Chains A and B, each alone.
Chain A
Amino acid sequence: MTAPGEKQNIHDYLAEFDDIPGTRVFTAARARKGYWLNQFAMSLMKPENRDAWKADERKYLENWPMSDEQKEAILARDYNRCLDLGGNVYFLAKVFSTDGLSFAEAVSTMTDMTFPEYREMMNKGGRSPQGNRSIKGGY
C-alpha cells in the first residue's frame, strides 16, 4: 500500500507496469502510438462504416493514417499484436463485435487456449493469480 500522502514518481509508476505477466497496460505511450488504430476501430460504431469495412477491409484502412504493421495486425485479427501497437481492448471490441464475436471468444484468442478451453477455465473459477502477478518475483 502507498502510505497516506505519499506521491509516486511517474517514471517509477510506469516502470512497474512492465513487470506484470501477459499484460499491456494502456499507458499514455501506448495511447499515443495507437491513436489512429483506436479511432479507426471507433468508426465501426456507425452502421454505414461497418458496411464499408465489411465490403473491403483493406480499402477501408486506406483512409486511416495507421502504420502498415497496425493495418496488417487488424486484418489478421492478431489482437495481441494490436495491443503491442497501441490498441485498447474497448476500441478493438468494435472490430470483433462487427465480426460477430463475443467478448469472451475474442479475449480467448489472446491466450494460448481455444475458446472452449478458455470458457471451461472461466467456469471453473478463472485463471489463478498464482504465479501470474509478477515476472521478476515469480509469484
Chain B
Amino acid sequence: MARITAGVASSHVPLLGVAVDQGKTGDDYFGPIFAGYEWTKQWEKETKPDVVILVYNDHASAFDMKIIPTFAIGCGERYKSADEGWGPRPVPDVEGHPDLAWHIAQSLILDEFDMTIINEMDVDHGLTVPLSMMFGQPDKWPVKVVPLAVNVVTYPVPSGNRCWALGEAIKRAVESFPEDLNVQIWGTGGMSHQLQGPRAGLLNREWDNKFLDLLIGDTDAARYIPHLEYLRETGSEGIEMVMWLVMRGALGKTTKCLHRHYHIPCSNTAIGHLVLEPTE
C-alpha cells in the first residue's frame, strides 16, 4: 500500500533557481538561505521517497487567462521546464507517475473534488525551484512527481479550509493505491510577500512564524484563516500559503516538526521551510 510518509513546505522564489543555476548558493546573500536546506537534502537522501505530490501554482507559464483551473492534477508521463521569458531553467525533465496520478484523480472526483486533469504542460519555477532546493543539481531527479496546481492568482482562490480538505482526500486516495510507494507531499510558495502596488515589499516575520507554528502538532486552526487575513498580514502574494494547507491536510491529525527554517529576505520574499512527519 502506498503511504504519505512526510510533508515538506518551501517557498519557491524564482531567484533561488537563478542562484542554483548560476552557482551562487554559497555567496553572502544566498548562503544563509541555502544553509537552511542542507538538513533536508541529507534527509531526502536517507528517506528516498518514490513519489512527490508537489502542490504549486503556475505563474502565467502553462496557463494564461484562457483557462483558470482551481485545482488541477498532472497525469502525464513527463513535464519540461517552462520558458518563463528568459529561456527554460537548465534542469532535468520532471518525470510523472501517471498510474498514481490517475488513481488520485479518479479517487478525488469520487470523493467530490472535481479536479481538472492535465496530460501535457510545462512546469515553471513554482515546481522546479523546490526540486532544486531539496535535491540540488542531479542529472535526473531522484523522484517521480505528481504536479498539483492550485489557482492562487485570480480571486476567489480556494479557501484554506477547502485546501486542507483536499489534502485529507489526497491522503485517503494515496492509501488506497495498491503498490508499495513511499510518497511525500510538498506545499510550496509564500511566505509573506507583495509584488505589486505602493505596498510592495511587505514582509511579516511575526505572522509567518505563527503560521509555521500552526502547521505543527494537532491544531487545525490554520484551515480557518480567511483570505483577507493573508492579504492584510502577508501581502498580496502571501496567499500562496493556502497551498501549504493541502500538504498539512494530507498528514492527518497530528504532525511532528523534523526541521524548520526561516529567512528574510530573498528578493521580495520571506523564505520559509518546514519538514513534517505524520505521527498517528
Interface contact A112-B85, CB-CB below 8 Å:
no
Is there a chain A Cβ closer than 8 Å to B201's Cβ? yes
Contact with A along B142-165 (1 / 0, CB 8 A): 000000000001111001010000
Contact with B along A18-36 (1 / 0, CB 8 A): 0011111111100100010
Interface contact A17-B231, CB-CB below 8 Å:
yes
Interface contact A93-B196, CB-CB below 8 Å:
no
Question: Which residue of the partner chain B has the closest CB to A21?
Answer: B199
Question: Which residue of the partner chain A has the closest CB to B264?
Answer: A125
Is there a chain A Cβ closer than 8 Å to B64's Cβ? yes
The answer for the CA separation of A16 and B232 in the assembled complex, in Å, is: 10
The answer for the CA separation of A23 and B14 in the assembled complex, in Å, is: 22
Is there a chain A Cβ closer than 8 Å to B110's Cβ? no
Interface contact A23-B197, CB-CB below 8 Å:
yes
The answer, among A2, A24, A25, A125, for a CB contact under 8 Å with B226, is A2
Is there a chain A Cβ closer than 8 Å to B236's Cβ? yes
Q: Which residues of A contact B83 (CB under 8 A)?
A: 45
The answer for the CA separation of A122 and B271 in the assembled complex, in Å, is: 13
Within 8 A of A (CB), among B193-217: 194-205, 207
The answer for the CA separation of A2 and B228 in the assembled complex, in Å, is: 10
Q: Which 4 pairs between the two chains have the least Cβ-Cβ distance?
A: A126-B203, A22-B199, A22-B198, A97-B85
Instruction: Name 14 A/B residue pairs within 8 A (Cβ), A-sorted.
Output: A4-B224, A13-B227, A17-B231, A24-B236, A25-B155, A25-B236, A39-B66, A89-B195, A103-B15, A103-B268, A104-B268, A110-B196, A111-B198, A126-B192
